[in-house]
Homo-oligomer: A and B are copies of this chain.
Amino acid sequence: MTATDPSPTSGASRPSPASQTLSRGIRVLEILSDALAPLTIDEIAVRLDVHRSVAYRLVRTLEDHGLVTRDAAGRVDLGARLAALAAGVAHDLQAEALPELTAVANELGMTCFIAVLDRDECVTLVSVEPRHAIASVAQRPGSRHPVALGAPGRAILTLVPPALWPADADAVRVTGAVARGYAVSHDEVIPSLRSVAVPLALRGRAAAAVGVVYLQSEHEPGVLAARLTQAADGIRASLGG
């Protein structure tokens, strides 16, 4: 082997009995997700820094499970079953939250969503868009950005001990969000977009937040936050958390 794989993601140095083959297979998925276009096996092998036959076997295995597909030219792309797998992520939360999110989205005319903490990132899990969605492309399920940025990120951080806040977090603003019970943002993650979010703490689950994004509104942020808190309470009640 040319070089042993470093800690896959960027993590600390744990005693980590990690499986090399599995790790490489997952990295294939990550590479494909980052790439805009389908990749050839050779390209995958290069980016993975492994021999082609290794990449070939990994791809074949992923294909067997439907996680990647291959077009007529042999190019590799992510498969639809990956989306099916992802539907199982916190699917009780998704199921219980959906009606609440829909209600908020329709009442306020804004995109309403749930984001959860994933290491140092904030990833959108479910989102519901209202009728006249302008910023449709934003806040789609699966989108992620550093948790230090934006209202939902700071709302999530209010659930995390300050000692664990990332270095680039604005401690003053997060502290303010803790006091107020909600967080606001403007022009942070997405240009000229505003957002309001409240924390959503669920028992035995990663820190989460429910929020809305909008261009402008006749409502004060506090009013939006009150509605969101109500939705969060409803979700929490449904899950008994």
Residues of A within 8 A of B (CB): 7-9, 11, 16-19, 21-27, 29-30, 32-34, 36, 56-58, 60-62, 64-67, 69, 71-73, 75, 77-92, 94-95, 98-99, 102, 106, 116-119, 123-125, 128-133, 136-137, 140-144, 204-206
Judging by beta carbons under 8 Å apart, are A83 and B125 in contact? yes
Interchain CA distance A133-B81 in the complex, whole Å: 26
**Nearest CB to that of A38 among chain B residues?**
B204
**Nearest CB to that of A86 among chain B residues?**
B86
Judging by beta carbons under 8 Å apart, are B84 and A118 in contact? yes
Judging by beta carbons under 8 Å apart, are A99 and B136 in contact? yes
Interchain CA distance A145-B102 in the complex, whole Å: 25
Interchain CA distance A88-B67 in the complex, whole Å: 12
Whole-angstrom distance between the Cβ of A118 and the nearest chain B Cβ: 4
Interface core residue of A19, A30, A129, A144 (most chain B CB under 10 Å): A19
Interface core residue of A66, A73, A125 (most chain B CB under 10 Å): A66
A8 touching B61 in the complex, CB below 8 Å, given contacts A67-B26, A82-B86, A204-B72 = yes
A80 touching B116 in the complex, CB below 8 Å, given contacts A19-B21, A137-B95, A142-B86 = yes
Judging by beta carbons under 8 Å apart, are A98 and B22 in contact? no
Judging by beta carbons under 8 Å apart, are B123 and A65 in contact? no
Name the contact of A26 in the complex, choosing from B65, B78, B123, B132 (C-beta under 8 A): B65
Interface core residue of A7, A16, A57, A142 (most chain B CB under 10 Å): A142
Judging by beta carbons under 8 Å apart, are A19 and B23 in contact? no
* Residues of chain B within 8 A of A99, CB atoms compared: 136
**Nearest CB to that of A34 among chain B residues?**
B88
Name the contact of A137 in the complex, choosing from B88, B90, B98 (C-beta under 8 A): B98
Whole-angstrom distance between the Cβ of A226 and the nearest chain B Cβ: 22
* Residues of chain B within 8 A of A137, CB atoms compared: 95, 98
* Residues of chain B within 8 A of A95, CB atoms compared: 137
Whole-angstrom distance between the Cβ of A117 and the nearest chain B Cβ: 8
Interchain CA distance A62-B79 in the complex, whole Å: 19
A30 touching B85 in the complex, CB below 8 Å, given contacts A16-B60, A56-B17, A77-B90 = yes
Interface core residue of A11, A87, A90 (most chain B CB under 10 Å): A87
Judging by beta carbons under 8 Å apart, are B98 and A89 in contact? no
Whole-angstrom distance between the Cβ of A71 and the nearest chain B Cβ: 5
